[in-house]
Structure 1
Amino acid sequence: MVVFMTTASATSPTTIDRTAPNRVKALIVLCVMQLMIILDGTVVTVALPTIQGDLGFSQAGLAWVMNSYLIAFAGLLLLAGRIGDLIGSKRVFLAGLGLFTAASLLCGVATSAEVLIAGRFLQGVGGALASAVILGMIVALYPAPGEQARAMGFYGFTSASGASIGLILGGVITQTVGWHWAFLINVPIGVVSLVLAVRLLTGERGLGLGKGADVFGAVLVTAGLSLGVYTIVQTAEPHAELPRTLVPAAISLLLLAAFVLRQARATNPLLSLHIFRNRQVSVSNLVVILLFAAGFGFQFMTALYLQRVLGYDSLTTGLAFLPAPLMGAVMSLFVAPRLIVRFGGRIMLLAGLTAFLLALLWLSQAPVDGSYVVNVAPVLTVMGIGVGVGIQSAILLAMSGAAAGDAGLASGLNNTAQQAGAAVGTAVLATLAASTTTSRLSEGADTVLALRDGYSAAFIAAAGFVVVALILTATLLRTPQK
């Protein structure tokens, strides 16, 4: 039986009352915030053509509606997690939730491209602050193995199905009330969540700023991660030039190397390198990177396949994804927690990855005249099963190895792995699909057939990510013992 260790700070004199009946409501508040964060990563995807027409974006500038959010989010997660350890998770969560809600309002009333991009960047900052501490707070709320697995089931559902739900909502909202409401819908939800969070989440003192606010290290890692994500998303540009991507990539690597050296020598490091000595934490986060690289790339490529090959409009494309979040909900909320407690996180992670691999290989064979009933719906159902089990298991394994006092750090590290995986996967798979399509067109292939071949190549590459994750899980991970 798998047993998950609590990562609540051992130095906190007042921890969350684990026997309070309000902890279920607290869990809901935390998961709602996580769902909003993930939704905003994808909800605008199907609305981008409409936004471009309304605000006058250039084709290159349009990408920054997505990239500004992603760069801010990924770049600040580690810093936000450490701040949570120092000043208390509740304070950081409330600050992030408040900023995210205000930024959503700014995006919703934006009348220019510049205002929308600025709002999206602020959303990323607020999302990073809140998301970085959510995992640690859930673990503190539910320390016992069985109840922790069930609580993580709710969190796993938001992580596994949030992106698909975002695509569905994006299509429905865009064609019914307009793209502005893709952001404005966050405002009432955020305000209610903020009020409930103040009442339901018990504050803790934290380690104190005197324990180490490594400002220089924070600047290095934030700049390195942000520049790295910027470089990755730039590679997906159709006319990206190699020298223009190599220079920022090299600078990013130098900044991150300097950060590692700083952490090895600093008295109070931002990221204690000892956390990587735990093989379970290190390998689990590598698996998370690969899983999110395949998962987000899968959803992005599938949306393009539905629109550009099968000819679906934005509303139909969004609704087409419905089997994935429905099956993900069933698995994450009802099935996976019980199976994880009975068989262990490692076994269920292997099962989830295998199901996801099957879905990727299945869709890679979809024809240009594919049928939704035969070629899409079953694939999304299998994907929902695999991701619903796999993501929850991987996150639980990563968090269970963290030591006391590292809750925010472990949570921030895991969220950074998720965002890095999503950025890398989307950029790599989009670039591969575009290059394959261009090559097929130069050979004289029909446009639709060339597009299909590009997406098939991307699906096969995503399957390769999952195969690597399977090998790592099978050979290096072990179910933690009591």
Structure 2
Amino acid sequence: MTDTPTPTTLDDRSRWIALVVLCVGMLMIVLDTTVVNVALPTIQEDLGFSASGLAWVVNAYLIAFGGLLLLAGRLGDLISRRDMFLSGLAVFTLSSIVCGIATSQEMLVTARFIQGVGGAMTSAVILGMIVTMFPPGAEQAKAIGVFAFVASAGGSIGLLAGGVLTDAINWHWIFFINVPIGVVTAVLATRLLPRDKGAGLSAGADVLGAVLITGALMLLVYTLVKPAADKGWGATETLALGAIAIAMIGAFIAREATAATPLVPLRIFKSRNISGANAIQVLSVAGMFGMFFMGTLYLERVLKYDAMQIGLSFLPATLLMGGLSLGYTDKLIMRFGARNVLVPGLVLVCSALAWFTQISADGTYLVDILPAMALFGIGGGTAFPALMTLAMAGVEPQDAGLASGLVNTTAQVGGAVGLAVLATLSSTRSDKLTAQGKPLAEALTGGYQLAFVVGLALAFAALLVAVFVIKPVPAQAHGHAPETDAEAVPA
């Protein structure tokens, strides 16, 4: 057993203040991605990036972030989640300063990679800290709802912030704004987060396993965001690197099954609900990239919206998601159970993507966009807190950081897969329509429609997993109490 703090370590008021601190740290990480995306054209002009070179401003961050989440979460369990969170904040904040003062392409890309390291260290342990601070039941469900809102809706807030900062000042400030937030969050975290002590590295110091899984995930994310997106899924480089990444994952699983002190104890995957929730996370996030990424491109390139208008367009979804996540979903989970809240939420997410498949080149916001935003806001506001609850249900306190890192990892891998697949399919379809003589707006819209259809298929697959794999958990069982035998996959 570890010295992980129990839910009774903090009083009620201190727990909720600590949750705010954790969520501010998470919000800073989430905002960074979309804030940077809005500023990319300005960064390209200022530093002289080529089109392919500019992609590394995003890819360098994603490779480090996606590759290190699982390792960071497990190390938080073994050493200290609080120390991992604080160390990640320090790395993220300092690298943000370097990003802001960058005067060359190499300086910015390197700083972005280090920023991804800090982002992984910070975000990997947050959900694990939440489930150990809050007792199972209504409080924990509400706390997870707050986290789910910040994690899922923060990106659309970043679109607004990125537009304001880039237009009003310059692109350097999208990074400098992280500095005061990071410093204040670190000071408050030092004072308010409970000290914890893990079991020690001797309980899971599997160096070979760490090298295999970190290398595999970094290589997998690189393959998805670079050769797969640039050269296609059938390209020799894509297939070769993908095969190496899969082989490394296989070697990692074999290693963990035989290691005396595994980095990632495979027992965590025996839970049917934990495994199912992470599968849903991969599929649903991959599908939703159709809405956020392709939706943004449709608004920008077809409807000719600027950055501020795009951010405002996503605001209804953000407001609905926030209202439900923060005020109602926890009560629904406690009354009906997480699975029974997750399923209708995913149905609404699928409905939103289905609506987007009907967009037109001469579309309007009220007809083509707003109804889908409303459906997604309601669906996401109910589905994601329920999904986070299921992903952490049945996790022992000493594995909370691992489970937290796992659910973040599956989200990042799902996002990378979604981006690579949908962007490739969309651009290929648009190119074919252009070659057939279609006007540019119609050709682009045709490509986006195809992306939304594929995104809908992925979200529907997530819905099927929720219906046929996830087992109902009694309301009082939500939390990190052990699950019943009916909810476990036989070893």
How far apart are residue 236 of structure 1 and its match?
A: 5.2
SS in 1 for 2:125: helix
Contact 2:95–2:112 (Cα < 8 Å) also in 1: yes
Pairwise CA distance, 1:297:
3.3
Shift of 1:14: 5.0
- 2:488 alignment partner in structure 1: none
Say whether 1:367 aligns with 2:360. Answer: yes
Match of 2:434 in 1: 441
Unaligned runs of 5+ in 2: 478-491
Instruction: Provide the secondary structure at the position in 2 that maps to 1:30.
Output: helix
Aligned to 2:307: 314
The 8 Å contact of residues 110 and 116 in structure 1, kept in 2 or not, is answered as: yes
Aligned residue for 2:91?
Answer: 99
**Aligned-partner Cα distance in 2 for 1:296–1:61:** 22
Residue type at the aligned position of 2:134: Y
**1:308-363 Cα distance to aligned partner (Å, 9 max, x none):** 11111222222222112111111110121111111111111111111111111111
- Aligned residue for 1:213, secondary structure, equals coil
Q: Is the 8 A contact 1:288 1:395 kept in 2?
A: no
Report the counterpart of residue 118 of structure 1 in structure 2.
Answer: 110
CA contact (8 A) 1:159 1:391 kept: no
Counterpart of 2:244 in structure 1: which amino acid? I
Quote how far apart the aligned CAs of 1:235 are. Answer: 4.2
Out of 197, 203, 220, the position equivalent to 1:211 is 203
The alignment yields a C-alpha RMSD, in angstroms, of: 1.4
Cross-structure match for 1:184? 176
Residue in 2 aligned with 1:385? 378
Match in the other structure for 1:3: none
SS at match of 1:354: helix
Q: Partner letter of residue 3 of structure 2?
A: S
Q: How many residues align?
A: 473
Q: 2:156 aligns with which of 150, 155, 164?
A: 164
What does residue 327 of structure 2 align with?
A: 334
CA drift of 1:206 comes to: 0.8
Deviations 1:26-66 (A, max 9, x none): 10010111111111122111211111001111100111111
Q: Which amino acid aligns with 2:462?
A: A
Structure 1 residues 426, 69: closer, same or farther in 2, change over 3 A?
Answer: same
SS of 1:331 mapped into structure 2: helix
User: Is the 8 Å Cα contact of residues 229 and 423 (structure 2) preserved in structure 1?
Assistant: no
What is the Cα deviation at residue 183 of structure 1? Answer: 1.2
1:419 aligns to what? 412
In 1: Cα distance, 2:69 partner to 2:362 partner: 42
Residues 156-191 of structure 1: per-residue CA shift (max 9 Å, x gap): 111120111122222222111222111111100100
Q: Quote the residue 1:4 is aligned against.
A: none
For 2:425 and 2:327, how far apart are their aligned partners in 1? 37
Q: Distance in 1 between matches of 2:423 and 2:394?
A: 34
CA distance in 2, matches of 1:171, 1:283: 37
Distance 2:5 2:314 in 1: 43
1:46 equivalent to 2:38? Answer: yes
Shift of the 333–388 alpha-carbon distance from structure 1 to 2, 3 Å rule, reads: same
**For residues 459 and 412 of structure 1, what CA distance do their matches in structure 2 show?**
29
* One-letter amino acid of the structure 1 residue matched with residue 104 of structure 2: S
State the AA in 2 paired with 1:260: I
Q: Which residue of 1 aligns with 2:80?
A: 88
Indicate yes or no: 2:460 matched with 1:464.
no
Measure the CA separation in 2 of the matches of 1:381 and 1:104.
34
| 1:218-238 per-position Cα deviation (integer Å, ceiling 9, x unaligned) | 111111100001000124544
Task: Give the partner amino acid of 1:79.
Answer: L
Contact 1:157 1:332 in 2 (8 A): yes
- One-letter amino acid of the counterpart of residue 290, structure 1: L
Change (3 A) 1:13 1:434: closer
Kept in 1: contact 2:338–2:390 (CA 8 A): yes
User: 1:1-400, aligned counterparts within 5 Å?
Assistant: 10-12=1-3, 15=6, 17-19=9-11, 21-235=13-227, 237-240=229-232, 242-400=235-393
The offset of 1:375, in angstroms, is 1.2
Partners of 2:5 and 2:133 within 8 A in 1: no
Partner amino acid, structure 2, of 1:211? A
CA distance in 2, matches of 1:68, 1:90: 26
Q: Which whole-Å deviations, capped at 9, do the CAs of 1:190-224 have from their partners, x for residues lacking one? A: 00000000000111111112212111111111111
d(CA) in 2 for partners of 1:371 and 1:63? 30
Are 1:64 and 1:117, in contact at CA under 8 Å, matched by a contact in 2? yes
Structure 2: distance between partners of 1:337 and 1:180: 39
**Is the CA contact 2:422–2:454 (under 8 Å) kept in the aligned structure 1?**
yes
The separation in 2 between residues aligned to 1:377 and 1:109, in whole angstroms, is: 39
TM-score, with length taken from structure 2: 0.94
Tell me, in whole angstroms, the C-alpha distance in 1 between the residues paired with 2:5 and 2:369.
50
How many angstroms apart in 2 are the aligned matches of 1:173 and 1:375? Answer: 28
Residue of structure 2 in register with 1:5 after alignment:
none
CA contact (8 A) 1:235 1:427 kept: no
CA distance in 1, matches of 2:313, 2:168: 17
Rounded Cα–Cα distance in structure 2 between residues aligned with 1:223 and 1:474: 34
Residue 252 of structure 1 aligns to which amino acid in structure 2? Answer: A
Secondary structure at the aligned position of 1:44 is classed as helix
